[in-house]
Chains A and B, each alone.
Chain A
Amino acid sequence: EPEVTQTPSHQVTQMGQEVILRCVPISNHLYFYWYRQILGQKVEFLVSFYNNEISEKSEIFDDQFSVERPDGSNFTLKIRSTKLEDSAMYFCASSRDRVETQYFGPGTRLLVL
């Protein structure tokens, strides 16, 4: 069964450094999402992406964040200058349509020191 994959599984970085989290969505899906989950808290929506542009973003998704689909398969989340509070599990998800099931990847655990 097709699945969403994410790399790396873990990332440790210094505050102020840039990180790029990578995702490969399910191949016939058209909608892509990033969510994050700070330890012990709810899963929070960051951004949705469709037709090579952002379709919606949350208040969390400020100018430090960007997303890109650099080729036909990858979907990336970049954090330009990481902060301590960016430490979280980041999940990528994809769906065929906005009202269909969103399939999640295994997550990237980001630790900012």
Chain B
Amino acid sequence: SQQGEEDPQALSIQEGENATMNCSYKTSINNLQWYRQNSGRGLVHLILIRSNEREKHSGRLRVTLDTSKKSSSLLITASRAADTASYFCATVGRGSTLGRLYFGRGTQLTVWP
């Protein structure tokens, strides 16, 4: 299976702290995307990182990718209560499954005010 798997399953922190979520996958990828989902709502795209990239930033978000370890991490700095959500990594494979996203189970982040 190609699915990404996030770690930890749940993370609870105070406002202002940093939150780090990890994702591991099993096969070669074209890119890896991180999404956020508020409870019962749609998926909001956060960052796409390609297989030839090692790090990307977007505002308070920092994503790293280590293709040798088949892993990625999402760092949210100076977290806010509004960051409370589920965070998913999703991979786009190579070859015949190009375009199809494989999602992990997600990390449920709770940020306490």
Co-complex (A, B): yes
Residues of chain A having any CB pair with chain B under 8 Å: 31, 33, 35, 41-45, 48, 55-56, 58, 89, 91, 93, 95, 98-107, 109
Given A42-B104, A42-B105, A101-B48: A56 and B30 within 8 A (CB)? Answer: no
Q: How far is the CB of B97 from chain A (nearest CB, A)?
A: 7
Contact-residue bracket for chain B: 20 to 34
- Interface SS of B by simple majority: strand
- Interface SS of A by simple majority: strand
Provide the B93-104 mask, 1 if CB < 8 A to any CB of A, else 0: 000111111111
Number of A-B contacts (CB under 8 A): 62
Residues of chain B having any CB pair with chain A under 8 Å: 3, 30-31, 33, 35, 40-45, 48, 50, 88, 90, 92, 96-106
Given A42-B105, A43-B43, A44-B103: A101 and B33 within 8 A (CB)? Answer: yes
